């Protein structure tokens, strides 16, 4: 068989492969929901306002772009620095990026099956044949005398090619490419979740610190009242039960501090972990007064939401992959065609191995059709269709959850504004009541029960205002995350590709050689 013959047969097989049909259903992108909405009745276009520090009215602008760096709208330099550090060092995000690289490599590995497999080998051997002439396989030498023992040197190139007549490999490549794209959106989802988690955790830390500060101020005020009641007791203007009640109230407030401090420590540890560090490596400390409440909030239509949410896009690609796997399973039921060819040299002497008389070649075709396998392939095809249905319903579930997330964030923001207005009114009234009760105590008109009630009400009001202000900030971040986080818009930070040195236990950026080895992969946010 000549070289031109082998190449001709393989070329014909490749043309037949590319011209053949791909069995199984063709994937079609799922239509956007046209009947989806965020509420049964139209929601107000803006929230209520209050006199609190974070009580401004928020306006919802339909179709407004979601900024790629939406967390900068809170105008906190510490928050911006922490988010950037988290994007660079968060191990979960880097794990998802590594999984994306692996998925892309698997896609290219599957694409390699479009080409023939070419293998070269060299086989030297030394054989001792029986001396019995009837049993000997020793070759005769130039003088006619058998050479025993004898050596054989063989070198050859073997070519094997499976013709993708039914599109089995094309469907397999399609499935793997969809999985790689799904992993890409998993990276985007991890990015979105990370930024939202950093913001909400920072807000929660600020809320706890504000609650601790408010509690310390109440403790300071109540300690002064205890000292005053003690003086009145010594002067005969108060009784021992009044002092005991006030001391109990002071102790009750102090008892809340350890729990708040524990929560603050836990929240700080969470922030350190999100930034890819250990608890002792957190540098930022947040206060609510350092945050600005964004007032103009974007609101995407539900039909546009499915293009923005990375989890929805990932679910769609999972459905795409499952659809292509149906084609793979159907192709397994059909005949399989393979061409094998070999060309090489074989000689008793290594020096004369590569010479025309020692050439040998072979070519063979093979067609295989499964006749009976206990219905294994048929059931595998049915299972693939079942998996496709499962992926379709999982996609539907993800779409519903995405719309629900936005709806929940919108309802929360409206209720937060109303709650803050009520809490602020409660705080103002409680402060007036406490001031009046304190004045009465200072002038000797002691009414300990009234004073204790006023103290407890004011403490509750201050804590409630702090909590609701934090809720407004956190729910604003939740809305940006529910809308997809703006990953598709320009201006997002670049996430570097890193490797983890298991021996040293540290992360390192990819070297120039490694970056060149992955020329198809761009860091998140890269425009190069």
pLDDT tens-digit profile of 332-381? 999 999 999 999 999 988 888 999 999 999 999 999 999 999 999 999 99
pLDDT tens-digit profile of 100-153? 999 999 999 999 999 999 999 999 999 888 877 777 778 887 777 888 888 899
Residue spans of beta strands (DSSP E) within 377-455: none
Q: Give the three-class secondary structure for 525.
A: coil
Supply the pLDDT for residue 491: 85
CA nearest neighbour of 44 among 66, 59, 55, 64: 59
Largest CA distance in the chain: 139
Q: Give the three-class secondary structure for 267.
A: helix
What is d(CA 80, CA 97) in angstroms, rounded to the nearest whole number? Answer: 22
What is d(CA 517, CA 104) in angstroms, rounded to the nearest whole number? Answer: 13
Dihedral over Cα of 502, 504, 510, 511: its sign: negative
What is 52-115+166-335+368-493's CATH superfamily? Outer membrane efflux proteins (OEP) (1.20.1600.10)
Taking the CA atoms of residue 221, residue 226, residue 231 and residue 237 in that order, the dihedral angle to the nearest 10 degrees is 110
Low-confidence ranges of the chain (pLDDT < 50): 1, 5-7, 9-10, 12-19, 513-523, 527-528
Lookup result for tokens 């397999």: 172
* Per-domain residue ranges of the chain: 52-115+166-335+368-493
Supply the pLDDT for residue 20: 54
pTM of the model: 0.86
Supply the pLDDT for residue 515: 47
CA nearest neighbour of 86 among 162, 199, 168, 10: 199
CA nearest neighbour of 518 among 504, 495, 498: 498
Strand partners, 506: 501
Supply the pLDDT for residue 506: 67
Residue spans of beta strands (DSSP E) within 321-398: 336-347, 359-368
Residue 67 has a CB neighbour count (10 Å cut-off) of 17
Supply the pLDDT for residue 516: 45
For the record, the structure tokens of 255 come out as 């008892």
Supply the pLDDT for residue 346: 93
Helix (H), strand (E) counts: the chain: 10, 8
What is d(CA 311, CA 405) in angstroms, rounded to the nearest whole number? Answer: 12
Supply the pLDDT for residue 511: 56
């Amino acid at each position: 068989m000549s070289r031109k013959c082998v190449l001709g047969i393989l070329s014909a097989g490749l043309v037949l492969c590319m011209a053949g049909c791909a069995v199984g259903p063709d994937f079609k992108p799922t239509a956007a929901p046209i009947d989806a909405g965020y509420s049964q009745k139209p929601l107000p276009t803006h929230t209520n306002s209050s006199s609190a520090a974070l009580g401004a009215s928020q306006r919802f602008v339909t179709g407004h772009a979601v900024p790629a760096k939406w967390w900068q709208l809170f105008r906190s330099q510490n928050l911006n620095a922490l988010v950037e550090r988290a994007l660079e060092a968060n191990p979960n995000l880097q794990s998802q990026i590594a999984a994306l690289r692996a998925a892309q490599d698997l896609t290219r590995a599957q694409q390699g099956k479009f080409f023939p497999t070419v293998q070269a080998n060299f086989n030297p051997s030394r054989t001792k044949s029986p001396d019995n002439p009837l049993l000997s396989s020793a070759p005769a030498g130039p003088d006619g005398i058998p050479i025993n023992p004898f050596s054989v040197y063989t070198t050859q190139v073997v070519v094997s090619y499976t013709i993708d007549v039914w599109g089995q490999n094309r469907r397999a490549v399609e499935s793997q490419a969809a999985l790689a794209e799904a992993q890409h959106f998993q990276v985007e989802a991890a990015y979105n979740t990370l930024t939202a988690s950093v913001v909400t955790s920072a807000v929660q830390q600020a809320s706890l610190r504000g609650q601790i500060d408010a509690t310390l101020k109440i403790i300071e005020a109540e300690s002064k009242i205890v000292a005053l009641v003690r003086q009145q007791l010594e002067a005969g203007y108060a009784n021992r039960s009044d002092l005991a009640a006030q001391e109990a109230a002071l102790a009750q407030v102090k008892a809340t501090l350890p729990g708040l401090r524990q929560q603050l420590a836990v929240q700080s540890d969470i922030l350190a972990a999100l930034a890819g560090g250990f608890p002792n490596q957190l540098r930022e400390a947040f206060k609510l007064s350092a945050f600005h409440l964004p007032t103009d909030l974007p609101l995407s239509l539900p039909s546009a939401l499915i293009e923005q949410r990375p989890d929805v896009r990932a679910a769609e690609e999972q459905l795409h992959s499952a659809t292509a796997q149906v084609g793979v399973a159907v192709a397994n039921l059909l005949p399989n065609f393979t061409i094998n060819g070999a060309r090489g040299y074989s000689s008793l002497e290594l020096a004369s191995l590569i010479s025309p008389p020692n050439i040998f070649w072979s070519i063979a075709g093979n067609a295989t059709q499964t006749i009976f396998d206990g219905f294994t392939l048929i059931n595998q095809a049915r299972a693939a269709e079942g998996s496709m249905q499962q992926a379709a319903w999982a996609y539907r579930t993800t779409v519903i959850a995405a719309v629900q997330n936005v709806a929940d964030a919108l309802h929360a923001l409206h209720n937060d504004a109303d709650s803050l207005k009520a809490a602020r009114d409660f705080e103002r009234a409680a402060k007036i009541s406490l001031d009046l009760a304190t004045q009465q105590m200072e002038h000797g008109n002691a009414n300990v029960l009234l004073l204790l009630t006023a103290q407890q009400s004011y403490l509750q009001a201050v804590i409630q205002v702090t909590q609701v202000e934090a809720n407004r900030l956190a729910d604003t971040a939740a809305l940006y995350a529910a809308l997809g986080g703006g990953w598709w818009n320009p201006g997002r930070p670049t996430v570097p590709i890193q490797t983890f040195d298991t021996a040293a236990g540290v992360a390192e950026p990819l070297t120039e050689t490694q970056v060149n080895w992955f020329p198809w992969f761009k860091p998140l946010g890269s425009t190069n």
